[in-house]
Amino acid sequence: MIEIQNITVQFGGNKVLNDISMTFEQGEMIGLVAPNGTGKSTFMNVLMNYVKPLKGKVVFKDSLSYSNKSNEVKIHKFVSMMPDQSDLYNHLSGREHLKMFATMWQSDVKLIDETIEALNMKHYVNKKTGTYSLGMRQRLCFAMQIVANTEIMMMDEVMNGLDPNNVEIISNLLLQKKAEGKIIIIASHLLDNLEKYADRIFLFNKGKLVDSNQIIEGFSQAQIKTIRVKNMASDTKKQFQELFPTIKLQTLTNGMSLIHLPSSEASLLSSLTSFLVERNVVDFAFGKVTLNDLYSMYYHEDQNVPAI
């Protein structure tokens, strides 16, 4: 369990984290989403005590907090953060890195081979990391944290530089770790992936962590709540607003228009479908607001498009 109590971090006059309070429970996978430089890494650094908050504290199990150096060591025995691929020792092999983490956290050494196997690292793990590609380095960093096998794992941009296959492999491993009861906190820009696996997703805004469900009610529930229309012409938008004045139409910077459905009644869905098809709009889908939409909505909403 992690209990974050009124954390405030300020750099100069800029409040990067502003009075954040929340609790993460064991077995939860938490997704953190935000544009660069809005506080994701700072948030994780506070959880690791790399950054001292101006106010507030983080409480872990057995009421442990970073109140002294001895507690920090105790906490770091069960909390870890994925290393950055640029920090790897180029003259050491991947296996040596894994051994380093396994011995430092005194975890089961069997995990080393199991993780190598699971992440398809066998063919390169004995070579020096200086020869690795970005994706190989990234997988190694992830593997290092997996072999450390701490109760709480934090990962900043874990999927960077990975191909879709490896994203899937890592995601499955994360699910496995989650099933073991670990708290996994992931900051990522691979929103589809995050949406698929995270139990709760938080967006950063003006130093606050906002639950995605707070932004869009029932975001995490699988219900038909939206029609997502690609490249909707402005004439069509106008006509839509005239015909359906009570339905909210929202256009995002990525060109996607969202028709927020007040209900999922068949007659309403039918009439909306007819409206679109009659105007030769064929690229649309029923479903819920995706994390990508939410991200666009939250951080880049086109202010010129009036929402009805």
Q: Footprint of another protein on residues 93-122 (CB under 8 A)?
A: 96-97, 100, 103-106
Contact string 132-171 vs another protein (x = CB under 8 A) = ------------x---------------------------
How are beta strands 2-11 and 248-251 bridged, if at all?
A: unpaired
CB of 88 to another protein, least distance (A): 7
In angstroms, the CA 39 to CA 176 distance is 28
Nearer to another protein among residue 155 and residue 162 (C-beta): 155
CB of 160 to another protein, least distance (A): 13
Nearer to another protein among residue 79 and residue 294 (C-beta): 79
Helices (H), the chain: 40-48, 69-76, 94-104, 110-118, 134-148, 164-179, 191-197, 212-215, 234-243, 266-278, 291-300
The encoded tokens of residue 48 equal 């690791």
Q: Which of 25, 50, 231, 238 binds another protein (CB under 8 A)?
A: 50
Enter the DSSP assignment of 305: S
88 binds another protein (CB under 8 A): yes
**Residue 50 Cα distances to 47, 55, 57, 135, 153, angstroms:** 8, 15, 13, 26, 15
Nearer to another protein among residue 76 and residue 208 (C-beta): 76
CB of 237 to another protein, least distance (A): 47
Listed ranges 8-16, 46-54, 212-220, 299-307: which one lies at the site for another protein (CB under 8 A): 46-54
CB of 100 to another protein, least distance (A): 6
Listed ranges 26-34, 47-55, 166-174, 194-202: which one lies at the site for another protein (CB under 8 A): 47-55
238: which residues sit within 8 A by CB, 6+ positions away?
none
CB of 79 closer than 8 Å to CB of 222: no
Q: Which of 84, 117, 211, 278 binds another protein (CB under 8 A)?
A: 84
CB of 155 to another protein, least distance (A): 11
CB of 141 to another protein, least distance (A): 8
Contact string 53-82 vs another protein (x = CB under 8 A) = ---------------xxx-xxx-xx-xxxx
Q: Which of 62, 87, 235, 242 binds another protein (CB under 8 A)?
A: 87
Query: How many positions of this chain bind another protein (CB under 8 A)?
Result: 30
CB of 159 closer than 8 Å to CB of 190: yes
Q: Footprint of another protein on residues 211-270 (CB under 8 A)?
A: none
In angstroms, the CA 60 to CA 302 distance is 41
DSSP string, 27-85: T-EEEEE--TTSSHHHHHHHHHTSS--SEEEEE-GGG-BTTSHHHHHHHHTTEEEPPPG
Residue indicated by tokens 């935000």: 34
DSSP H or E segment with residue 250? strand 248-251
**Residue 46 Cα distances to 16, 58, 95, 152, angstroms:** 11, 8, 30, 14
In angstroms, the CA 110 to CA 227 distance is 49
CB of 182 to another protein, least distance (A): 16
- Write out the residues near another protein by the rule CB under 8 A: 48, 50, 52, 68-70, 72-74, 76-77, 79-84, 87-89, 91-92, 96-97, 100, 103-106, 144
